[in-house]
Amino acid sequence: MLFHDWLKNGSKIILFDGGMGSEIFKHGITPGRLPDTLNIEQPDLIFEIHKSYYDAGADMCQTSTFGSSFLNLQGYKIESQIKELNESALKNIKRACPPNRLIVGDIGPSGVFKPPVGKATAEQWVSSYVKQVKFLEQGVDLWHIETISDIEEMEAAIKAIREISKKPIISSMTYKKTKRGFFTIMGNSLEKCVRIQEDRNVDVIGANCTLGSDEMIGLIKELKELTNKPISAKPNAGQPRIDQNNRAVYDQPIKDFVSDIHEIIQIGAKIVGGCCGTSPATIKEIRKLIDSLEN
């Protein structure tokens, strides 16, 4: 399989895509609406965003299904659309994907929490993700479970995928930097998360979102000390500010982001890309960086 070949190639750095939600918001989606619904309502827009990332040089891009798990859709009262949303997302990215590039099935957080914060159970998480994975399995090359802040929810998502699929999994938690080190908002330490992800035998361990590229450098340094598995990093383009239209805006210059990505690669990350606030222009500059390192 191409992804495994890439992982085994010691000199290859795999380039992921950049932000999807932040690109969609540039096109004026109403705040509070689920961006994934544009897979049905504006398929050409989603296609164009995917295409722009592949054209910028991304080796792989992920489906616009971050919020399309059953439980998350239930929160928007559109769970009856789970099949149409996920299958439309596949159709849109397949249309954009060139030969010898990969399609990644994007699995995001369910939006519900375990007690005492919420009422979710591990069984509900697994069931919710199984429903989504069934619709995506036919069309993806690998999986990216991302922006998860509770290691128990990550375990549920991994279990759900493994019930349906044998394809590779990138398991990516989201962390905050604290005085005591890097923790999820649910209080899971980086060390604990890595240990459990290794126990679940994922193919790649990663981090994405929340942290800007400068803070991600420190996290990847620690992550590299904790695991021998390949590492993925998709930081945000700095920290957002809220503009007059109540939208998050990311002001970090692309050159600064790319400079940080260079350092993250030097530390040992195998897969790099961007999360919120990054764009096809960002990915294009990272492509130039990677090409210069490989030549």
d(CA 217, CA 238): 12
Average pLDDT on 198-217 reads 98
Q: Shortest CA distance to 54 belongs to which of 285, 294, 283? A: 283
d(CA 208, CA 231): 11
Q: How confident is the model at residue 176 (pLDDT cuts 50, 70, 90)?
A: very high
**pLDDT digits 0-9 by tens, 236-286:** 999 988 888 777 889 899 999 999 999 999 999 999 999 999 999 999 999
Residue 20 pLDDT:
97
Q: Is the pLDDT of residue 41 over 90?
A: yes
**pLDDT digits 0-9 by tens, 209-248:** 999 999 999 999 999 999 999 999 999 999 988 888 777 8
Residue 249 pLDDT:
86
Residue 238 pLDDT:
92
Residue 289 pLDDT:
98
What pTM was estimated for this model as a whole?
A: 0.97
Q: Which two tokens stand for residue 116?
A: 């005492």
Q: How confident is the model at residue 26 (pLDDT cuts 50, 70, 90)?
A: confident
Name 212's bridge partners.
236
Q: Is the pLDDT of residue 55 over 90?
A: yes
The residue ranges of every structural domain in the chain are 2-294
Q: How confident is the model at residue 121 (pLDDT cuts 50, 70, 90)?
A: very high
Q: Is the pLDDT of residue 1 over 90?
A: no
Q: Is the pLDDT of residue 182 over 90?
A: yes
Name 176's bridge partners.
183
Strand-strand pairing, 169-173 and 142-148: parallel
> Which CATH superfamily, name and number, covers 2-294?
Homocysteine-binding-like domain (3.20.20.330)
Q: Is the pLDDT of residue 17 over 90?
A: yes
Higher pLDDT, 26 or 30: 26
Residue 32 pLDDT:
80
